[in-house]
Structure 1
Amino acid sequence: MMPRTLLAQNWITEILPVGSKRLLYEAGQLAAGAGTDFILEASAGVDVHCSAGPATSILVATAGKQANDLAEITALDVFYLGMLHI
């Protein structure tokens, strides 16, 4: 149910699974795909170098800082990671 809820939001531009390659790697891949750089501004306590197991977390790109909106529609813990340099 949650993937459909996320995909229905017009302010969500990309959803990527995070696995063994870690958050920072996936954020870099997202930026590379957009032809830009990733600017790390992670929330306190977020380990961007830690490997995640299969299907344990996702990276969601939004049109702005909408962590509160994301937390409301998913009822999950949401952490801000950074932004793409536009």
Structure 2
Amino acid sequence: MSLQDPRSPFRELDIRAPIRQQLANLVILEYPLIHVSLLSHSYDFNVIKDANPCCHRPELKESVAIDHPSSEGISFREEEIEEYGGSSDP
């Protein structure tokens, strides 16, 4: 398979947006390979620029983030595991 094979397109990613959002609507069959190149470098493959770029979260001012840490967390339910004694069967 050559680099210009239409079955393996290259996509431009936004470094300011989470990669999970950018790859959310894509089917990835194996582990993705990420090539990093500078804009000043030339490359021999076609890059698909997303027509609907992902929205990234607005950057917070450092002073706000340091002075007021986020109080939001992930809620979860804690369960106790009961051990059953007396039987050697699984």
TM-score by length of 2: 0.27
Structure with higher strand content: 1
Rg larger for: 2
